[in-house]
Amino acid sequence: MNSSEELLESKELREKLINRLEVLDKVKQLVTIPNTELLTVEQVAEYYEVDVNTLNQVVTRHYDELTEDGFRIFKKNEILDLLHNERNVHDVFSVKSLKTHSLITINNLTISVNNRGIRLFTRRAVLRIGMLLRDSEVAKRIRTYLLDVENLATTEQKMQDITEEDKLLLSVIKAKTNEERLTAMNELYKYVDRYKTQVDNLMKENNLLAHGISCWQERQIINKLVRKLAYSKYNSNFWLAWDKLYDEMLYKHNINIKARLNNKQGKDNTFFDVLTDEEIVKAFQSIVALCKENNVDVSEILKKHNA
């Protein structure tokens, strides 16, 4: 059985558990920069209730691991463009340029961005910190939760001689009274209903992809899915994620986005400005396909817009 100390020392074990990002919000609410999945050094230090110097020491010692999870320096113009483009209509957004840095305010959060850039963490990098910070109480709870889940999964794997459905059927057969049989059958029906719900959700998702939704919603979802793909697979490199979508549109639908943008007059044209409504539906279907090919879960985003 794995221990917290082993998690601190073993990169192999950390790699095994690095995708369990749900633990972050289960242990403590994680506050990101609005409309992104990114956090500043100060936000991560506050989450783990440690000082910035302590956090920086861990970053220095395990820099390679963290960069694999998407931790990196964002150039000033890069983060300015990202925060400006991804802001919501009702967000309070302002930029104050000073000699050595800029102050970006989004609602109640003010971020100081050095002229050389700013270091930002992805959720994966934040979880990695929790597996490396030795004395943080929050990090200890992170490790305990991760190991409990891992040890439980290992135990369950060893006990899979018969399936859950087999167990429930056996309970029905072995029931000695009508009351016991009724209780066992109810448990079996609940089990079957859970899987029916999963199938229903899958059908809704397929229906969404087949028939499309409003053009405005599709634009919003495409933006969110490209961000999700970038965070999950390309170390928050949003431009690379968009390039992958451009390639998908070219190879699958013979729609050359880059050529259209180059031929379109005006410098402020975007991806959506050079597509028809029908082509935006194809773009929506393409980004969903890209996410699934890369094992990026899109169900939560689709569920919100299909509600």
pLDDT digits (tens, 9 = 90+) for 95-113: 999 999 999 999 889 999 9
Averaged confidence pLDDT in the chain: 81
pLDDT digits (tens, 9 = 90+) for 179-208: 787 787 777 667 666 655 554 555 555 555
- Does the model's pTM come out above 0.85? no
β-strands 93-97, 101-106 pairing: antiparallel
Give the pLDDT score at 296.
84
pLDDT digits (tens, 9 = 90+) for 9-24: 889 989 988 988 888 9
CA distance 18 to 124: 7
If pLDDT is split at 50, 70 and 90, which confidence band does 212 have?
Answer: very low
pLDDT digits (tens, 9 = 90+) for 122-131: 999 999 999 9
Phi, psi of 14, deg, nearest 5: -60, -40
Mean pLDDT for 279-305 is 81
* Contact partners, residue 94, CB within 8 Å, separation at least 6: 104, 105
